[in-house]
Amino acid sequence: MQQEWIMGLIGGGMIGLAATMFLLINGRIMGASGLLGGLVDGTGRGNAGERAAFIAGLIAVPGLIAFAMGGSETHASSNIAVLIAAGLCVGIGTRLANGCTSGHGVCGISRLSLRGIVATVFYLMAGGLSVMLFKHVLGVI
Amino acid sequence: MQRAIYAFLAGGLFGAGLLVSGMTDTRKVQGWLDVFGDWDPTLAFVLGGAILPMAVAWQLTRNRQPVLGGAFPPKPETRLGWPLVSGSVLFGVGWGLVGLCPGPAMASLTFGGMEGLVFLVAMLAGMLAAPPLRRRLVEASAPA
């Protein structure tokens, strides 16, 4: 357990350094949903290359590390309906809110942004209630 | 080109951090959200570890320019509004249901199997559907 916390802290530090790099060098906020969403709906056409390069690194590097380690498990649900419903909620929700865990959580809270803090409070509470409902009450996950 | 290279490196470091911290493992994420069950506090360490360097980074943006030129992001908006609240609630529901948020959904694409792919495609569809929904929400919540 404690080793997992330390890995969490180290991995978290890497995420924070990545966000620091992207801010201080490229001048951009590292928000996963915004960077991807701008490519999907066309609002990020002006800097599509930068967005695509970020996403390419985000997919390729953990892929290579996982491959070198002999694979990595996500333990995701195999229920197609659950996967589709959750994907739709995450896609619509993060774009309506204009941010997710990285944009509102990491980049927003660290500059004491009111919107970032409020968003994080709401998605954490909703996430907790969601697990309680779908796991402990309905038993679908 | 330089912008793309640094963007690739930042994305790569972000993805490596997500993998190392265990955030691509949906069981750990759902364990963090499972406050009424077998609670796993790892995500608090991840968020804390990420927020600390970024708090310093924001201080370093004062009276400076990004290394590659241009300007730093403007001061954050303070208006909250319904899209922020309803969107965050919807995101949280989906996050709890499967344990993936947008970063880890992309980072685990190569090793997440069909499950990860189905989630990602649904997420992309949701992102495509969001702009018209947002316009309606803004219209509905605008003072007459």
Express each pLDDT in A92-135 by its tens digit.
999 999 999 999 999 999 999 999 999 999 999 999 999 999 99
Question: For residues B83 and A13, is the Cβ–Cβ distance under 8 A?
Answer: no
Buried b (16+ CB within 10 A) or exposed e, B95-134: bbbbbbbbbbbbbbbbbbeebbebbbebbbbbbbbbbebb
* ipTM attached to this prediction: 0.96
- Asked if residue A99 belongs to a domain, the reply is yes
Question: Virtual CA dihedral for A62, A64, A66, A69, nearest 10 degrees?
Answer: -140
Specify the number of domains making up chain A.
1
pLDDT digits (tens, 9 = 90+) for A4-33: 999 999 999 999 999 999 999 999 999 999
Question: For residues A37 and B130, is the Cβ–Cβ distance under 8 A?
Answer: yes
Residue ranges making up the domain that contains A133: 77-141
- Asked if residue A122 belongs to a domain, the reply is yes
**Partner-chain residue, chosen from B50, B100, B130, that has the shortest CB–CB distance to A12:** B50
Q: What is the token pair recorded at A125? A: 């509470």
The CA distance from A12 to the nearest CA of chain B, in Å, is 4
State how far the Cα of A138 lies from the Cα of B10, in Å rounded to an integer.
40
- Asked if residue A50 belongs to a domain, the reply is no
Q: Report phi then psi at B89, rounded to 5.
A: -65, -45
Cα B136 from chain centroid (whole Å): 24
Contacts of B80 in chain A (CB under 8 A): 114-115, 118
Return residues 24-83 of B near A (CB < 8 Å).
Answer: 24-28, 30, 33-37, 40-58, 60-61, 65-73, 76-80, 83
pLDDT digits (tens, 9 = 90+) for B68-114: 999 999 999 999 999 999 999 999 999 999 999 999 999 999 999 99
Instruction: Calculate the alpha carbon distances from A118 to B8, B11, B79, B122 in Å.
Output: 30, 26, 11, 26
Domain boundaries, chain B: 2-141
